[in-house]
């Protein structure tokens, strides 16, 4: 099993190209099920989750092709990739457990399959390392659109004999996944659908832009109220995946942790203003340029900042672990409160192995910053936790080995190459 070896202490200087957002690419790929024409997606990251979803879509009969090229200009060593998806014939409306259990987002195929084919049989996704993440909102929302739904032997059985019907649905709590699914399903429903208390994340906006390019009639994406006027058919389109705001925030924190001066090429500050403000308050200087975001921190210490995770536009839960890694060396005490997912503090024990001082009180972690961390073997427990250990390892004295890096490969494209290109001493070791 691969692991990552880091020798800490180097500052970061140079350019890191920001990849397309995984959390945007996945729903865009699933939207291909809504049409028999080709959906072309550009700026798609090369990640384990993307490859898994390609296999899942293939199970439904979706053909795809890939073309990409390496870009060595400006020293970025970037990688651009275009995927073409064609769901001309849906050969199977079942998404089996052995596929869905490997990636929760694959459950989202229930919306497009139901809207286009009138039926879907999709396995419940099962447990998750950072919480249960139930699918109740998906089921309730689809029932509001007229779907008949049963749950039997671990599968959601959904039917809409005479097409889905537009309706008003108020999410009892904000859910990005359920907003994705209902927006896709309502695009082919009869009549108008209004989604209240909808997720406002940039990835939701990217999906709405994609669906509109395919012929949907959606307004209000990015606000709490989304209106969808159903259409008879959707068509092919060419859509770009937005830059990954979580990757952007992660590398910005790495610079804040180690010091240095890095251009995050292609990054968009408007996608994570709250997080950038927080990182700036720790002592980093962040400026938007024509090429991306420039992040600098001189030799001054890291200031402690309290945060609470919230739905967009608040501080993202997907940056909470990374921020905790940064706060381990802050000059003072910080409080980090997690309100989105339970069990999302599993990285605490591993950070403690590096010398961090962290205590837990309910859903709040109290981080008492230390002047030095010392390298040690650590183990990744989930995607975001794994990269928090990398951030800490970059500043720790000596050698840190991060095990179970398959978690990293789910969401970070070429992480070790990007960091080593800016001066970090980091390498992947294959078993």
pLDDT, tens only, 282-319: 999 999 999 999 999 987 899 999 999 999 999 999 99
What confidence tens digit (pLDDT) does each residue in 159-207 have?
Answer: 998 999 999 999 999 999 999 999 999 999 999 999 999 999 999 999 9
pTM: 0.94
Whether residue 93 is predicted with pLDDT greater than 80 in this model: the reply is yes
CA dihedral 106, 110, 111, 115 (to 10 degrees): 140
For the chain, list the domains and their CATH numbers.
Answer: 3-18+243-429 (3.65.10.10), 22-240 (3.65.10.10)
Q: Which residues are catalytic?
A: 128
Instruction: Please give the full DSSP string across 132-168, using - where no structure is assigned.
Output: ----HHHHHHHHHTT-EEEEETTEEEEE-TT--B--E
The pair of three-digit structure tokens given for residue 178, joined into one six-digit string: 């359920």
Cis before 313 (ω within 30): yes
Is residue 239 a known part of a binding site? no
Containing 242, the helix (H) or strand (E) segment is none
Check whether 38 has a pLDDT greater than 60: yes
- Percentage of the chain surpassing pLDDT 70? 95
Share of the chain above pLDDT 90, in %: 84
Greatest mean pLDDT range, 92-101, 225-234, 340-349: 225-234
Residue 137 known to bind ligand: yes
Report the C-alpha dihedral over residues 148, 151, 156, 157, rounded to 10 degrees. Answer: -40
CA distances from 305 to 60, 248, 252, 310 (A): 47, 19, 15, 16
**Which of 348, 347, 346, 393 has the alpha carbon at shortest distance from 374?**
393
- For 262, phi then psi, to 5°, come to -130, 135
Predicted confidence (pLDDT) per residue in 331-367, tens digit: 999 999 999 877 778 899 999 999 999 999 999 999 9
- Cα(95)–Cα(113) distance, integer angstroms: 10
Residue 175 annotated in ligand binding: yes
23 is in an annotated binding site: yes
Residue 44 has pLDDT above 90, yes or no: yes
Range of lowest pLDDT (124-133, 235-244, 273-282, 306-315): 124-133
**Is residue 174 a known part of a binding site?**
yes
Average pLDDT (37-60) is 95
Which residues are within 8 A (CB) of 284 and not within 5 positions of it... i.e. 6 or more apart? 252, 255, 256, 295, 296, 297
């Amino acid at each position: 099993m691969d692991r990552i070896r880091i020798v800490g202490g180097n500052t970061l200087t140079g350019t890191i190209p920001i990849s397309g957002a995984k959390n945007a690419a996945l729903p865009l790929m699933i939207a291909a099920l809504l049409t028999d024409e080709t959906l072309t997606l550009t700026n798609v990251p090369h990640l384990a989750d993307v490859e898994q979803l390609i296999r899942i879509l293939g199970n439904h009969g979706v053909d795809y092709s890939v073309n990409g090229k390496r870009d060595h200009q400006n020293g970025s060593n970037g990688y651009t990739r275009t995927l073409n998806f064609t769901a001309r014939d849906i050969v199977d409306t079942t998404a089996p457990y052995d596929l869905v259990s490997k990636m929760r987002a694959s459950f989202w195929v229930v919306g497009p399959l139901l809207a286009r084919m009138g039926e879907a049989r999709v396995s419940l996704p099962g447990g998750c390392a950072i919480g249960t993440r139930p699918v109740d909102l998906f089921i309730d929302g689809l029932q509001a659109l007229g779907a008949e739904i049963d749950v039997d032997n671990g599968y959601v059985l959904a039917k809409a004999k005479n097409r889905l019907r537009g309706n008003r649905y108020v999410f009892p709590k904000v859910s990005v996944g359920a907003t994705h699914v209902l927006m896709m399903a309502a695009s082919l429903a009869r009549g108008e659908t209004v989604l209240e208390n909808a997720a406002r994340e940039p990835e939701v906006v990217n999906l709405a832009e994609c669906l509109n390019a395919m012929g949907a009639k959606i307004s209000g994406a990015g606000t709490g109220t989304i209106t969808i006027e159903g259409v008879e058919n959707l068509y092919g389109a060419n859509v770009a995946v937005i830059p990954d705001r979580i990757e952007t925030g992660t590398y910005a924190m790495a610079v804040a942790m180690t010091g240095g001066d890095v251009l995050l090429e292609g990054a968009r500050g408007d996608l994570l203003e709250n997080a950038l403000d927080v990182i700036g308050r720790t002592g980093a200087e962040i400026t938007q340029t024509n090429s991306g975001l420039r992040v600098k921190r001189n030799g001054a210490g890291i200031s402690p900042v309290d945060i609470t995770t919230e739905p967009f536009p608040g501080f993202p839960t997907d940056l909470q672990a990374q921020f905790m890694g940064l706060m381990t060396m802050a000059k003072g005490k910080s409080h980090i409160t997690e309100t989105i997912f339970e069990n999302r503090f599993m990285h605490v024990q591993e950070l403690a192995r590096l010398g961090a001082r962290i205590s837990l009180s309910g859903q709040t972690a109290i981080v008492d910053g230390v002047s030095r961390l010392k390298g040690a073997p650590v183990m990744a427990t989930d995607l975001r936790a794994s990269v928090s250990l990398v951030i800490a390892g970059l500043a720790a004295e000596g050698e840190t080995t991060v095990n179970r890096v398959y978690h990293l490969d789910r969401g970070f494209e070429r992480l070790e190459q990007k960091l080593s290109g800016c001066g970090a001493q980091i390498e992947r070791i294959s078993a």
